[in-house]
Amino acid sequence: MRVVVAGSSGLIGGALRAAYQGDGHEVVRLVRRPAQAPDEVRWDPLRPDPRLVEGADAVVNLAGAPLGDRRWNARYRALIASSRIDTASALATMAARAAAPPSVLVSMSGIRYYGVDRGDEELTETSAAGTDGFLPLVTARWEAATGTAAEAGVRVCHLRTALVLAGEGGLVPRLLTPFRCGLGSTLGSGRAYWSFLTLHDTVAAIRFLAERPQTDGPYNLAAPNPVRAADFTKALASAVGRTARLRLPLWALRIGVGQMGPEVLGSLRVIPERLSAAGFCFGYPDIEAALRAALKGNPDTQRLRRLSDP
């Protein structure tokens, strides 16, 4: 396969690249800086070039400014939105205009499509979009930005991705130090549902959708057993051999990380109905197994380090 990837330097992108290359597939990495490796090609989303995706078996869009690296002031909110919407639009335009269009555009999205907080409601791909908060509005526009490709007949899959659990990045490494010191805390009341997926299963799901012609539209990339925040805390504490009896109220979280906290950690009980129906098998469907796998590290990112060694 020839796979073109935007956003290959992130947590998911690095693991996806390693998985494909480790299996002998060609990966073309779209980068916005000067190319520094044989598999990199410089591109500019403001000047879409269809030649970059011509003949590709799959185009995978994982690009987007990180959510947790900075406070969400007005400028950074604008960057979060533009880095997602403009990139998706550019790739869709390239796919639609290519002389030999790619077989599929697999484009990152997120479960915040469903809103900031939906309580105990089970959410499938047919559930209504959320209208509250910043991320739900961005995510809806993010998905809509690929419309040009779909209208041109290119198969498009949207990855409504849950909290990705990995020892190499994301939320888990940020929690490890306090949990290992016995200072792990349940956020808020502990009743909010957290939907999750291991990095390994995330990469496997992306490849699954890219390689199956019958798939298209939105897919919830989430394990089939979402858990409440209190159960997540208990499982992580157990995984590191500690207890977690503290509780951090949401108002304190808002002071610490600003607007991001409630938007990212509100209750969403997401069910991967379409992914399961398509025949995808989860390697780590429950939180205990998922956290153990995350703490061991993802084999694909370990493979990437070996591939990158001189």
- Domains of the chain as residue ranges with CATH: 2-308 (3.40.50.720)
Helices (DSSP H) in the chain: which residue ranges?
A: 11-22, 74-97, 134-144, 147-151, 171-180, 199-210, 229-239, 250-257, 260-265, 273-277, 287-296, 299-308
Q: Which residues of 22-54 are buried (b: 16+ CB within 10 A; e: fewer)?
A: eeeeebbbbbeeeeeeeebeebebeebbbebbb
Distance between terminal CA atoms of the chain? Answer: 25
Q: Is the pLDDT of residue 213 over 50?
A: yes
Cβ count within 10 A of residue 308: 10
Three-state secondary structure call for residue 103:
coil
How much is the pLDDT for 310?
Answer: 42
Q: Is the pLDDT of residue 222 over 50?
A: yes
How much is the pLDDT for 12?
Answer: 96
- The residue written with tokens 């197994």 in the block is 289
Instruction: Give which of 54, 46, 34, 160 is closest to 108, Cα–Cα.
Output: 160
How much is the pLDDT for 286?
Answer: 96
How much is the pLDDT for 240?
Answer: 82
Three-state secondary structure call for residue 149:
helix
How much is the pLDDT for 64?
Answer: 94
pLDDT in tens, 232-268: 888 888 888 877 766 655 554 554 444 556 677 789 9
Q: Is the pLDDT of residue 23 over 80?
A: yes
Three-state secondary structure call for residue 5:
strand
Backbone angles phi, psi at 159, to 5 degrees: -100, 95
For range 43-47, the mean pLDDT: 95
Cβ count within 10 A of residue 190: 15
pLDDT in tens, 54-109: 999 999 999 999 887 677 889 999 999 999 999 999 999 999 999 999 999 999 99
For range 27-54, the mean pLDDT: 96
Q: pTM of the prediction? A: 0.91
Helices (H) and strands (E) counted in the chain, each on its own, are 12, 15
The percent of residues in the chain predicted with pLDDT above 90, rounded, is 71
DSSP string, 59-71: EEE-----SSSS-
